[in-house]
Structure 1
Amino acid sequence: MTYAKDAAPPFYHGTRADLSVGDLLAPGFGSNYQAQKLSWIYFSGTLDAAIWGCELAKGPDDCERIYIVEPTGAFEDDRNLTDKKFPGNPTAAYRSREPLRIVGEVESWEPHPPERLKEMKDFLARLEAEGDMKIID
């Protein structure tokens, strides 16, 4: 299995999808943030990035989930963040064309403060309005 440079488990995927241990998260669906179908599945090596993932994902407010995932194949640094928005890969953001297997769920986590979450949602809405919400797929 090929790993991105310096990648080490555990890995997380934040979403609003209600899934179970053993289920596979696969590419080919819309992203958490927009309808664009993606040929990659995205995940992170940091819990904070996964918290942002589930908090910012579209879907029911009462269905925020953070899954502990295991890549089933090769993966690479997420080119949307690595060296584009942040030098290196401080968010430990990755992507794979192979499914991720759910091996657990983070049952308890601390959400971002409401004012910080609103700032981020407002920022993303501004990017979308300006047509700058492109995902490098």
Structure 2
Amino acid sequence: MTHAPTYYHGTKADLAIGDLIEPGRVSNYGKRTPAKFVYLSETLDAATWGAELAVGEGRGRIYLVEPTGPIEDDPNLTDKKFPGNPTKSYRSAHPFRVVGEVLQWDGHSPERLQEMRAHLETLRLAGVEAIEE
């Protein structure tokens, strides 16, 4: 018996079961332009980073989502940066449906978060866009 993978989406958006996470909304990263894709991961760690680094008010949240269309490897985290797809990160031009929420998860340490934010700021100052669409 084959089981469908579990997919996660980290954000600060306050969503409900059945809501759709759709392309076209302002991105949480980079220049904050409307996103052509929506992103998900098979790993809780990648979703945790998404929840912690997303811009906006409120707490980070991690949702269980199901794709409504095809997904592909996320080129922002695969191939060029990490051969293959070790983070199991994907994107889609189709919405994801929220099917649940992870209510208890452990975030990264304040020191590790600061390291990541400093790294992202260094990339921003160098003109490297966080999201490649």
Report the TM-score when normalising by structure 1. Answer: 0.90
| Residue equivalent to 2:38 | 41
Does structure 1 conserve the Cα–Cα contact (< 8 Å) formed by 2:29 and 2:130? no
What amino acid is aligned across from residue 90 of structure 2 in structure 1? Y
Does structure 1 conserve the Cα–Cα contact (< 8 Å) formed by 2:72 and 2:92? yes
Equivalenced residues, count: 129
Q: Which moved more, 1:27-36 or 1:118-127?
A: 27-36
Give 1:89 deviation, angstroms.
0.3
Q: Deviations over 1:75-134 (max 9, x none)?
A: 101111111111110110000011000000000000101100000001101111111125
* Residues 115-134 of structure 1 aligned to structure 2 (within 5 Å): 115-134=111-130
Distance 1:49 1:55 in 2: 10
* Residues 52-67 of structure 1 aligned to structure 2 (within 5 Å): 52-60=49-57, 62-67=58-63
Among 69, 79, 83, the residue aligned to 1:83: 79
Distance 1:102 1:134 in 2: 25
Give ranges in structure 1 of 5+ residues lacking alignment: 1-7
Alignment of 1:114 onto 2:107: no
Say what the alpha-carbon RMSD is for the aligned residues: 1.1
Runs of 4+ with >2 A deviation: none
Aligned to 1:87, the other structure's residue is in SS state coil
| Residue equivalent to 1:24 | 20
Alignment of 1:97 onto 2:96: no
Aligned to 1:101, the other structure's residue is in SS state strand
Instruction: Report the CA distance shift for 1:20/1:58 in structure 2 as closer, same or farther (over 3 A).
Output: same
What amino acid is aligned across from residue 124 of structure 1 in structure 2? L
Among 45, 48, 52, the residue aligned to 1:51: 48
Aligned to 1:121, the other structure's residue is in SS state helix
Distance 2:73 2:104 in 1: 27
Aligned to 1:86, the other structure's residue is in SS state coil
